[in-house]
Chain A
Amino acid sequence: MKKILLFLISVFCFACGESEEKKNDVSYALSQINEEDKKVLEELFRSLFIQGPFSYTLLDKKPMGTIDYSFNFAFNVTPSKFHTRNALIAYKGMKVWEKYKHLFPSKNFYFFVYSHQQANDYVFGFTLLSKPKVLEIIKKNISFFKDFANHSSETPEQVLEMLCANKFYKFDTEKDEKYHKTLGLLLGYSKESVEAFCRIQVLSQILTGLPYDTSLLVNRERYLDIIKNTKKLDKELLNNSPHGNINKSAIEEFDYLLNHMKFVKTTSDPNPLFPIIYPGYMSLENDQDTEKMKVSYDEIKQKLVDIYSSENFLEVVLSLLTS
C-alpha cells in the first residue's frame, strides 16, 4: 500500500514538474523578447483572442480559426474604428511574431501568418489549426480529403501534413464547391449545414442566366443579390444537376435553402456582456449538430473570460499554444 502511494505521489510530482517546465519554457522565451516587442505581441494576441475563431480553436473547440484583413477595407474604404484598430494591431504584430515565432514551437497547433496581393488589394491574416481536431475531421471525411488533396494513397496524417504545408492544388474559389466544403468542415461547421451551403453555391450558378420565373421565389431579393455576384453559368454544372433538365424543383430547392439557412452564433445563451466575439456560421434551421455545438462551446465561456482577465495573459496564451 505504501509503495503504491509513493508511486502515485512521484507520478503526480513528475506531472507537476512537466507542466512547470513548460511554463518556464514560455517564461524563458518571453524573457528573450524586449519590452516593446512584448507589448506588440500582447496586443496582437489580445486582438486575436477577443475574436472567437482564434480563442475557441486555442481551447480545442474549433478545429481551425482564421482572422483576415483586407488592406483596402481596413484603411481605404469605409473605416470601422474597431476593425481599423485591430487591422493595425495585426499588421504590426505579424511582423514582430515572425521575428520570435521560433521561440514558441507547437506540436498540437499550426499557427501561421499569411499575406498576399490580391487584385488591387493586400490581404493579410492569421490561421490557427488544432492538429488533433483537424485530424479527426479528415478521418471522418477521408475520401473527400484524399480527393481534395489529389492523392488517393495518402493517410489522414499525411493529408494533415499536406494541409499544414499548404500543398493543395489551386482552385477558383468562386466556382469550386470543394473549396467551400473543405473550408466549412475545417472551420468546424456542422456537416449538414456545410452541404446545404455548398448546394446554394451550386444552384446559384446553375440558375444564373436561365429563363426562369423569379416570381416563383419567395425570397426573390436575396436571390437576386446572390446572382449579381455569381459568374456565368458553367455547362458542366448544368449537366450534372440532380434534377436533369433544370425545372421548377431546382428553384424550389434553392428557395427552401435560402429561407432555412440563418447566421447563428455558437452559443445557447448569448451574453451581451461577454467580451469575446462568438464565432458563427450559416446553419440550416433545426440542425441538431449546430445545437450540440452551441452547448459544447458554452462549456468554455468561463475559461475564456478567466484567460482574458489574467494578468499574465500573454504567457497564458503562449503556454496554451505551445502545450
Chain B
Amino acid sequence: MTQKIGLFLIFVFGVACLLSGLFINRINAKEEYFFEEGEKAVFSEYLGYVLWKNLSCYSYYDFNKVLKTLVALENGKLQSDACQKDSSVLIKLLEKAETERSKHNLSEAETFLSNLRGKSSIKALKKGKVLYEIVKEGTGLPICDTDFVYVHFRELDIYQNIFRDTTQTSAPVKLKLSEAIPGLRVATRGMLVGEKRKIYIHPDYGYGSIGKNEPNQLSIFEIEIVSQ
C-alpha cells in the first residue's frame, strides 16, 4: 500500500514538473524556436554576461535569492512588474546602501590620510586633509594657477586603480588649475615647470559626498607640469 502511495506521489510530482515547464513567463515564448540549439546556447551565455554586468554593480546581494527569483519569474510564479509595486522599499534599501557606502569611503579616506601623514616626504595642507609629495623636481618657473598650463595627469582611487590617464595620449592637456577641485588647486600652488607631484585629497576638498565615482571618495592625482 505504502509503495502504491509512493508511486502515486512520484507520478503527481512528475506531472507538476512537466506542467510548470509549460508555463514559461515570457513575452514571446514562440520566439525560442528562432534559434537552433547551438545558437540558443551562445545567445543564452551572452544574456548571462548582460545580467552579470547589472549584478556586478552591487556587492550586497544574495546570489541564491537572485537565482530563485529568476526561476520563479521564468515559471510564471512571479510577475515581472511586482518589483515596481514595491518601489518605495527598493528606494529605502538603495538609500541605505549609499549611506553605508559613503560612511565606509569617508572612514577609509581618513585612515589612508592619517597613515600617510607621518612620512617624511609628505607635506600637509588644509589641516592634513590635503597631502602631497614631490615625485620629480622641476627646474622651470613657478606656475600661476589662473594661467593656462600644459599638464599630464593620472587620477586614481584609494586602491590605486586608474580612472583617467592623459599620458595615454601624446599631447599634454591645456587647462587652468584654478578651475579644478579645491584640493588640487591648493596642492599645485608653487609647482615648477617640469615638476611632478602625487596629491591625496580628502573628499571635503575633492568631490564631496556626491563624489565622482564614489561618494566621499579619496581623490589621488599624479600631476606633472609639462610647460606653461
Interface residue ranges, A against B (CB under 8 Å): 43, 46-47, 50, 71, 75-76, 78-79, 81-82, 84-86, 88-89, 91-92, 120, 122, 269, 271-275, 301-302, 305, 309
Residues 81-104 of B at the A interface (beta carbon under 8 Å)? 81, 83-84, 87, 90-91, 94-95, 98
Tell me whether B181 and A275 are in contact (CB under 8 A).
yes
Q: How large is the interface on B (under 10, 10 to 19, 20 to 34, 35 or more residues)?
A: 35 or more
Tell me whether A88 and B84 are in contact (CB under 8 A).
no
Q: List 6 A-B contacts (CB under 8 A).
A: A81-B57, A85-B98, A85-B215, A86-B210, A275-B212, A301-B179
By a CB distance below 8 angstroms, the chain A residues around B210 are: 43, 46-47, 50, 85-86, 89
Q: How far is the CB of A45 from chain B (nearest CB, A)?
A: 10
A273 to B181, CA, bound (A): 7
By a CB distance below 8 angstroms, the chain A residues around B215 are: 85
By a CB distance below 8 angstroms, the chain A residues around B209 are: 43, 46
Q: Does B175 contact A (CB under 8 A)?
A: yes
By a CB distance below 8 angstroms, the chain A residues around B160 are: none
Answer whether A81 and B91 are a contact pair too, CB < 8 Å, given A271-B180, A275-B180: no
Tell me whether B179 and A305 are in contact (CB under 8 A).
yes
A interface: dominant SS: helix
Answer whether A273 and B54 are a contact pair too, CB < 8 Å, given A43-B210, A71-B87, A85-B210: no
A320 to B157, CA, bound (A): 34
By a CB distance below 8 angstroms, the chain A residues around B166 are: 272
By a CB distance below 8 angstroms, the chain A residues around B57 are: 79, 81
Tell me whether A274 and B83 are in contact (CB under 8 A).
no
Tell me whether B91 and A88 are in contact (CB under 8 A).
yes
By a CB distance below 8 angstroms, the chain A residues around B146 are: 302
By a CB distance below 8 angstroms, the chain A residues around B94 are: 75, 84, 88
Tell me whether A273 and B180 are in contact (CB under 8 A).
yes
By a CB distance below 8 angstroms, the chain A residues around B182 are: 309
By a CB distance below 8 angstroms, the chain B residues around A43 are: 209-210
| Residue of B with least CB distance to A313 | B208
Q: Does B108 contact A (CB under 8 A)?
A: no
By a CB distance below 8 angstroms, the chain B residues around A275 are: 180-181, 207, 212
Q: Does B164 contact A (CB under 8 A)?
A: yes
Q: Does B213 contact A (CB under 8 A)?
A: yes
| Residue of A with least CB distance to B174 | A269
A205 to B91, CA, bound (A): 39
Q: How far is the CB of A310 from chain B (nearest CB, A)?
A: 10
